[in-house]
C-alpha cells in the first residue's frame, strides 16, 4: 500500500497554513516567519505545534487565537487551496491500494482533498492523527492506516514532505520517499528528509510513479 501525507504532498496547503500562523503569532508578540515554522515544525499536529511554541516562549497564546488560525485556514482552503502540481496525473499512474495519513484534523483533511478533487481517489482510506493517541513523529497514524486497510506495515511505502513524517514512517516499520515539490520547500529540504531516512527524494510529482514502482517489493504487491 502507498500511504500519502496530505498537506504539502497532495494539496499545496503548508504555505497557506504557516503564513496564517506566523502572522497571528507575530501579532501576539512572538515574531516568527512562515519559513521558520516550516523548517522546524511541519508534519506535526497543529495544536501540538502551537502548544510547544507557547511552552518555549513561556507565555500562553491569547484566548481564541488558535481558533482564529483554524477559521482563517478554512477560508483559505475554500478560496486559495490547490492540488500539488502534477499530483492527479501521478496518482493515475500508481497502482492501488492508496491511503492518506495526515496530521490534519479529519474534517479539514477530507475537505482539503475534496476541494482539490482528490478525495474519491483515497476514500475510505483517509486517516487523521486525531484518530490516534499520538501525532507524528510517533508512528500511530501510519500504523492505524495500515491496520484499517488490512496491510502489514512492512508492505507500506510512505510519501512524506516532513522530517516528522519520515521519522514516523520508519518508526512504523515502513519505508519512505521524501517529497520536495510543494511551494513551501526550502534549501536543504531534501537533504534533511534523506538524513531522516527517506530512501529517495522526488521534487516533482511527474517522477513519483517511477520511484514508487522501483521501490514496490513483491511482498507489498501481494499484500495490497
Per-domain residue ranges for the chain?
Answer: 2-12+82-223, 14-79
pLDDT digits (tens, 9 = 90+) for 36-95: 999 999 888 999 999 999 999 999 999 999 999 999 999 999 999 999 999 999 999 999
Rounded to whole angstroms, the Cα distance separating 150 from 188 reads 36
Quickly name the fold that domain 14-79 has.
DNA polymerase; domain 1 (1.10.150)
- No. of helices (H) and no. of strands (E), the chain: 12, 6
What residues pair up with 11 in beta bridges, in sequence order?
7, 83
pLDDT at res. 42: 87
Q: Is the pTM of this model over 0.85?
A: yes
pLDDT at res. 216: 81
**What's the CATH number for 2-12+82-223?**
3.40.50.1000
CA dihedral (148, 152, 154, 159) positive or negative: negative
Residue 223 has pLDDT above 80, yes or no: no
C-alpha cell at 57: 516562549
Residue 219 has pLDDT above 90, yes or no: no
Distances (CA, A) of 40 to 18, 49, 55, 164, 192: 11, 10, 15, 10, 11
C-alpha closest to that of 92 among 200, 208, 11: 208
Is the preceding peptide bond at 184 cis, omega within 30 degrees of 0?
Answer: no
Amino acid at each position: 500500500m502507498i500511504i500519502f501525507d496530505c498537506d504539502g504532498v497532495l494539496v499545496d496547503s503548508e504555505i497557506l497554513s504557516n503564513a496564517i500562523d506566523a502572522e497571528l503569532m507575530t501579532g501576539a508578540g512572538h515574531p516568527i516567519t512562515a519559513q521558520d515554522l516550516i523548517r522546524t515544525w511541519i508534519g506535526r499536529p497543529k495544536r501540538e505545534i502551537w502548544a510547544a511554541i507557547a511552552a518555549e516562549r513561556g507565555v500562553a497564546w491569547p484566548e481564541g487565537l488558535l481558533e482564529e488560525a483554524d477559521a482563517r485556514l478554512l477560508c483559505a482552503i475554500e478560496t486559495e487551496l490547490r492540488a500539488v502540481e502534477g499530483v492527479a496525473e501521478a496518482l493515475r499512474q500508481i497502482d492501488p491500494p492508496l491511503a492518506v495519513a495526515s496530521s490534519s484534523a479529519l474534517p479539514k483533511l477530507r475537505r482539503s482533498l475534496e476541494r482539490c478533487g482528490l478525495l474519491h481517489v483515497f476514500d475510505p482510506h483517509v486517516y487523521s492523527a486525531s484518530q490516534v493517541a499520538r501525532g507524528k513523529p510517533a508512528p500511530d497514524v501510519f500504523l492505524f492506516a495500515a491496520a484499517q486497510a488490512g496491510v502489514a506495515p512492512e508492505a507500506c511505502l510512505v510519501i512524506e514532505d516532513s522530517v516528522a513524517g519520515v521519522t514516523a514512517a520508519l518508526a512504523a516499520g515502513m519505508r519512505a520517499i521524501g517529497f520536495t515539490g510543494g511551494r513551501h520547500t526550502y534549501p536543504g529540504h531534501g537533504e534533511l528528509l534523506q538524513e531522516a531516512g527517506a530512501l529517495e527524494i522526488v521534487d516533482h510529482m511527474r517522477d513519483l510513479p517511477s520511484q514508487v514502482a522501483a521501490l514496490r517489493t513483491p511482498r507489498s504487491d501481494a499484500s495490497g
